[in-house]
Amino acid sequence: MRPPVVGQFTLCNGSTVSFQPDVSGGLSSLWELYLTGAILSLLLYQRGLLVLHGSVVRIGNKTVAFVGHSGAGKSSAAAACCRQGHALLADDIVALSLSGQDVFVQSGFPRLKVHIDTAEALDIPVQSLVSVHPEIDDELVLPLHDQFCPEAQPLAAVYLLGEGEREEMKPLSPAAALVELLQHAMPSRYGQNGGAGQFEQLSTLVRQVPVFHLLRPGNLEQLNRFPQLVENHLADLYKD
C-alpha cells in the first residue's frame, strides 16, 4: 500500500509490517494514522478476519455496526450514541470473527475521531479535545475510556448509513446486503480481490445478522435524535 507522500507499507501473512517512507516532499508523520487505520485493517484481513469500514457501539445489551462510505457519518453516529451513555467498541475498523452460528465483533481502541462540527452539534467541549494529527485541522480525538467495551461481543445488527430527505429504515435481503457490504470490506474497498474466503465470510454474515439501510438527513442538528432511532429499532427487532 502506497499512500501519497507518506511511503510504502508492505504486509506479510498478517504478522509483519515494513515501511519505506517517501522523503521526496519531506518526511510526513501521517504514517502513524495509516498504521492504526488502513494498515491495521489489512493486517486483520490477512489474519482471516472479515473487516468492514465502520464504527461499533453497544446499545444496551446489543452490539451494532454503522457501516458506510467516507463521510456517511459513521463516527458521528457512534459519538451521538456514546453521548447518550452507550459504549464504544471500535471506530473505523469493524473486525469480525465468524464461527458456526456466531458472529463476534472485536474491540478496538478507546477513542473516537470526530469532526469539529459534530462535536459542537453534540455539545462536546471542543477546547478539551486534541487534534487527531498536527497536519489535520478539523478532526479531533474523543477519549472514551469510561464508555469503552474491551471485550468481543456478538453482533446484533448492521446499519448501512446513507443520506435521505427523511429518516428511513429499510431491511436488506441477504443478497442485497452482500453486494452492499462488499464495497466496504477489506481489501475490496481498495479495489483488490478479497478472494473466495471473503465472499464466504460475507455470505455467512448476511445470513446470520440482519442488515438495514438507515437513511437520514445530513442535518447535524438532528444528530441527537439518532440514538433513540436505533434504540427503538432494536427494541422492535428483538422484542421477543
pLDDT in tens, 73-120: 999 999 999 999 999 999 999 999 997 778 999 999 999 999 999 999
Q: Which three cell numbers stand for residue 141?
A: 480525538
- Alpha carbon distance, N-terminus to C-terminus of the chain: 46
Alpha carbon distances (Å) from 178 to 191, 195, 208: 16, 14, 12
Q: Are residues 18 and 93 in the same domain?
A: no
Averaged pLDDT score across all residues of the chain: 92
- Do 137 and 193 belong together in one domain? yes
What confidence score (pLDDT) does residue 25 get? 63
Domain that holds residue 203: 49-237
Residues 131, 137 contacting (CB under 8 angstroms): yes
Q: What is the CATH number of the domain that holds 105?
A: 3.40.50.300
How many residues does the structure list for the chain?
240
> Where residue 26 falls among pLDDT bands split at 50, 70, 90?
low
Same domain for 7 and 54, yes or no, is: no
Number of domains in the chain: 2
Read off the pLDDT of each residue in 120-132 and give the average, rounded to a whole number.
91
Write b or e for each residue in 69-100: b if 16 or more Cβ atoms lie within 10 A of its Cβ, otherwise e.
eeebbbbbbbbbbbbbebbbbbbbbbbbbbee
Q: Are residues 5 and 59 in the same domain?
A: no
Count CA within 13 A, CB hemisphere, residue 214: 25
Same domain (yes/no): 43, 56:
no
Same domain, 142 and 158: yes
How many other C-beta atoms are found inside a 10 Å radius of the C-beta of residue 190? 10
Q: 139 and 28 in one domain?
A: no
**Cα gap 103→108, rounded to integer Å:** 16
pTM of the predicted structure, to 2 decimals = 0.94
Whether 128 and 15 map to the same domain: the answer is no
Residues 127 and 81 in one domain: yes
Query: Are 104 and 55 in the same domain?
Result: yes
Q: How many alpha carbons fall within 13 Å on the CB side of residue 167?
A: 12
Q: For residue 27, what pLDDT is reported?
A: 65
Residues 71 and 136 in one domain: yes
CA dihedral 4, 129, 92, 69 (to 10 degrees): -70
